[in-house]
Structure 1
Amino acid sequence: MNFQSFDLNLLRILDSLLILRNTTRVGEAVGLSQPAVSAALRRLRDVLGDPILVREGNLLVPTDFALSLQEPVHSALLMLEDALSGGGGFDPARLDRSFVIAASDYFQEMLIPKLAASLSAAAPNVRLKVLPPRSRDLAAMLTSGSFDLALSIDVETPGWITRMPVFRASNAVVARRGHPYLGGLQWGDRLPLDVFCGLPHVIFSVNEEFAHMEDAALARLDRSRHVQLSVAGYHGVGRAVAESDLLGVLPTRFALSVAKMAGISVFRLPFDEPLIGMFLYWRERETRSRELSWLRNMIVEQLAPFDETNAPVTDAEFSLASRE
């Protein structure tokens, strides 16, 4: 490879590809279209003489050569960012500060166990506080200075709030184990539409609304459901379902993760709906902060395995959770 003619802009795309492993999400992260990212991947393959990412079923998997590049490329970009920002060398091990993240119990369940281990190893003096969002008004939460970062679904924000995609997820229906109206159904089966509409529901909401995207999907089918209860936590949905005949809708992998503890069964929705995008938000003026950039990258890397864009929840995952 002739390094003199190498387009260094490709390194930023390579770094994102090795973390996110999806051309659409990389495009969202770096501000390019999906075709532009695919073209950049082809250029990387030509220049480096390696496929970089290969498809295995629905997954894009890095080659051994690509994995050998991941750490040095990522470290080099961080060093370059640090140099251009005018600061000295950034070493997480010497970092001594607190971060506050707004995140629902859904994100806490999926993120915190791995993030805690990574922080302990890389930055033992960092203190991380994770609090539930007070509302869907992320701009107000970030403006107040009470939070450094926020994890949420796709919401409208002003121009001085920026974001990056972290993963996309599906939803599933949950019901108490041994529910009298669900006899004969196996975990992972599609719940019949008449059952979904005929039983009362509990939903997660941080405001006064009693409608979700499932209600829009039902309206397109000229159907509706009765929402009897709204709670401000995903675990609250599980607890309400476990002690009643209510149905609930939860992110699928979250539901499978807590099913044994909550005493619930998990089924597929009776209709198709698009995957829900999850995003990491922060103040635009802090985009170049070395400390926050380091934490953002760590969060994105920890959450990447939960992305269902190329790895939907399988029947085997439902079956395994049902036996626990």
Structure 2
Amino acid sequence: MNFATFDLNLMRVLDALLREGSTVQAGRRLNMSQSAVSGALSRLRYALGDELFVRHGNRLVPTAYAKRIELPLREELDRLATLFAPPTTFDPATAEGTFRITASDFFAEMLMPPLADHLRKEAPLIRAQLVDLVPTSYIDSLETYRADLALIPRQEVPDWTKSLPLFHSSFVVIARRRHPRLAAEKIVPDDVVPIDLFCDLGHVLFSPEGNFSAMGDAALARVGRRRQVMMTLPVFSGVCRAVAESELIGLVPRQLAERVAPQIGLDIYRPPMSIEPALIIAVWHKRLNSSPLHAWMTEQVVALMRQLNEGEEKSVT
């Protein structure tokens, strides 16, 4: 391809085709006719030396080459849009946009209600979405534009991301109110559950992947013990509800337990083994660093979440 003579407008057509998978829908996105989009696709195929799309029913399916350049192309278009955008002062009161957060349902309880109230007062035209966190693909969500911000336990993150610490969270034991086994042992709320009883009782475990072990099991293994995980659930709300309506117990973040315990009839106890508090961090793609909307929304999320912190924050790179 001779880049000196390449029509850069074709980049927008290719991006629209990759997004829509249809010449008709791409035309609507770009305010072009279907025939104009089809003509642009022919020129793209000639210039790039690749078929780019093959028809599958009513859809245009990208070739391996087109799929490989999809994200880099989108990033370049975003960079150019930012480069040529006129300087403006961000005003949350008039700003419009959608901000997508990928996180566990812990944040449906602890973040979204105060964020909803804050946006209603300060930024009524900005929409916030909480989307399911899939632990094995949250990075993909950031890279493929399905999420603007990920809220996750501290871990290694790619060098194309940025991150900030939010809060530390310890774990507590939850049980139904006046649990018969705990009452029989005269264990009252805020007591330590004896380790023999803790391991003998059945547990409900939060695990989006369906694993039967987590941080609590690793802590037990360090003292040579095991617990009985009888059920796993992909959402914390399900864990709390299952515990409230059975004689199973569970380990959940302290902040969540304290929020929901009075509402659904739970008592809170301390675990018998030492579990290091989890540090929750916010992660985003560096390409969003120049977005005023992203910067403002991230600042609001960070401010709200740091109110949950239990101890001194540690630096995150």
Question: What is the rounded CA distance, in whole Å, between the counterparts of 2:96 and 2:290 in structure 1?
Answer: 19
Identity of aligned residues (%): 36
1:296 aligned to which of 286, 291, 298 = 298
The aligned counterpart of 1:143 is 143
The aligned counterpart of 1:208 is 210
User: TM-score, normalization: structure 1?
Assistant: 0.67
* Unaligned runs of at least 5 residues, structure 2: 1-81
The aligned counterpart of 2:247 is 245
AA aligned to 1:169 is: S
The aligned counterpart of 1:106 is 106
1:307 aligned to which of 294, 306, 309 = 309
Report if the CA contact (8 A) 1:138-1:157 is conserved: no
1:224 aligned to which of 223, 226, 240 = 226
Classify 1:151/1:89 alpha carbon distance in 2 versus 1 (closer, same or farther; 3 Å): same
Question: What is the rounded CA distance, in whole Å, between the counterparts of 1:170 and 1:160 in structure 2?
Answer: 30
Question: What is the rounded CA distance, in whole Å, between the counterparts of 1:87 and 1:166 in structure 2?
Answer: 31
Question: What is the rounded CA distance, in whole Å, between the counterparts of 1:203 and 1:240 in structure 2?
Answer: 10
Question: What is the rounded CA distance, in whole Å, between the counterparts of 1:160 and 1:122 in structure 2?
Answer: 31
CA displacement at 1:300 relative to structure 2: 0.7
Question: What is the rounded CA distance, in whole Å, between the counterparts of 1:297 and 1:136 in structure 2?
Answer: 26
Question: What is the rounded CA distance, in whole Å, between the counterparts of 2:136 and 2:178 in structure 1?
Answer: 35
CA displacement at 1:167 relative to structure 2: 0.6
CA displacement at 1:310 relative to structure 2: 5.0
Give the 3-state SS of the residue equivalent to 2:99 in structure 1. strand
Report if the CA contact (8 A) 1:136-1:206 is conserved: no
* Unaligned runs of at least 5 residues, structure 1: 1-81, 312-324
Give the 3-state SS of the residue equivalent to 2:300 in structure 1. helix
Tell me whether 1:185 sits opposite 2:164 in the alignment.
Answer: no
Superposition misfits of 4+ residues, deviation over 6 angstroms: none
Counterparts of 1:1-324 in structure 2, within 5 Å, are 87-183=87-183, 184-310=186-312
CA displacement at 1:145 relative to structure 2: 1.1
Q: Tell me how many residue pairs correspond in the alignment.
A: 228
> What is the CA RMSD across the aligned residues, in angstroms?
1.9
Question: What is the rounded CA distance, in whole Å, between the counterparts of 1:87 and 1:275 in structure 2?
Answer: 43
Question: What is the rounded CA distance, in whole Å, between the counterparts of 1:170 and 1:135 in structure 2?
Answer: 20
Report if the CA contact (8 A) 1:188-1:268 is conserved: yes
AA aligned to 1:192 is: P
AA aligned to 1:233 is: V
User: TM-score, normalization: structure 2?
Assistant: 0.68
CA displacement at 1:228 relative to structure 2: 1.3
| Higher radius of gyration, 1 or 2 | 2
Question: What is the rounded CA distance, in whole Å, between the counterparts of 2:267 and 2:287 in structure 1?
Answer: 45
AA aligned to 1:98 is: T
> Which whole-Å deviations, capped at 9, do the CAs of 1:232-268 have from their partners, x for residues lacking one?
1101001111121111011012101101222211101
Question: What is the rounded CA distance, in whole Å, between the counterparts of 1:265 and 1:239 in structure 2?
Answer: 13
Give the 3-state SS of the residue equivalent to 2:257 in structure 1. helix
